[in-house]
């Protein structure tokens, strides 16, 4: 399973990455926080193998950065992205325009790119996920 997670660096999201990596998935993490992203990918790479973890900086508000992220993810993962976690977001207490740009436009950029890239005619569906016990 090739897994692309936007905003994977926040603690609630890290838990599912640990489960996926433990089950043998390859992951590409992304966030706008460059240093935090590199540090997290390095730590996970030491634990699960550097070939299984990548980090690519992406500002989700920019659709061209989404395209670069997707290409880099597929290059590192060695195949098509089969799962996208598109969960970027900022607090509504931030600037209202930034909140809309990230929470709406950014997510839409990722969703529409995923629809294009993950079209059933282009990507073989992943096998069922491993059962959690």
User: Which residues of the chain are modeled with pLDDT < 70?
Assistant: 1-12, 120-133
Are 61 and 105 contacting, i.e. CB atoms less than 8 angstroms apart?
Answer: yes
Q: To which H or E segment does residue 107 belong?
A: helix 107-117
Q: Which residues, including other chains, have CB under 8 Å from residue 35's CB and lie 6 or more apart? A: none
Q: Which residues pair with 56 in a beta bridge?
A: 30
pLDDT at 101: 95
pLDDT for res 90: 87
Answer whether 23's CB lies under 8 Å from 50's CB.
no
| Contact call for residues 73 and 86 (beta carbons, < 8 A) | no
Domains parsed from the chain with CATH numbers: 2-93 (3.40.50.720)
For residue 24, what are the CA distances in angstroms to 31, 51, 121? Answer: 22, 11, 25
Of 79, 56, 78, 60, residue with least CA distance to 69: 56
pTM over 0.95: no
Task: Please tell me the number of Cα atoms within 13 Å of 57 on its side-chain side.
Answer: 7
Q: Scan for tokens 């809309």, then name that residue.
A: 100
Query: Which pLDDT value is given to residue 10?
Result: 58
> What local confidence, expressed as pLDDT, does residue 130 receive?
66
What is the pLDDT at residue 30?
92
The tens digit of pLDDT for each residue in 8-26 reads 555 667 788 888 899 999 9
Give yes or no for a contact between 66 and 108, defined as CB atoms under 8 angstroms apart.
no
What the block records as the tokens of 82 is 């089969």
């Amino acid at each position: 399973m090739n897994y692309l997670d936007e905003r994977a660096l926040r603690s609630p999201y890290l838990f599912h990455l640990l489960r996926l990596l433990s089950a043998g998935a390859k992951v590409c993490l992304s966030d706008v926080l460059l240093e935090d992203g590199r540090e997290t990918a390095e730590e996970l790479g030491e634990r699960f193998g550097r070939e299984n973890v990548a980090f690519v900086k992406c500002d989700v508000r920019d659709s061209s950065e989404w395209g670069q992220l997707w290409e880099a993810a597929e290059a590192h993962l060695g195949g098509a992205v089969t799962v996208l976690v598109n969960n970027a977001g900022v607090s509504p207490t931030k600037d209202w325009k930034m909140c809309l740009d990230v929470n709406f436009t950014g997510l839409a950029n990722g969703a529409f790119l995923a629809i294009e890239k993950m079209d059933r005619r282009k990507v073989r569906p992943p096998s069922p996920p491993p059962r959690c016990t």
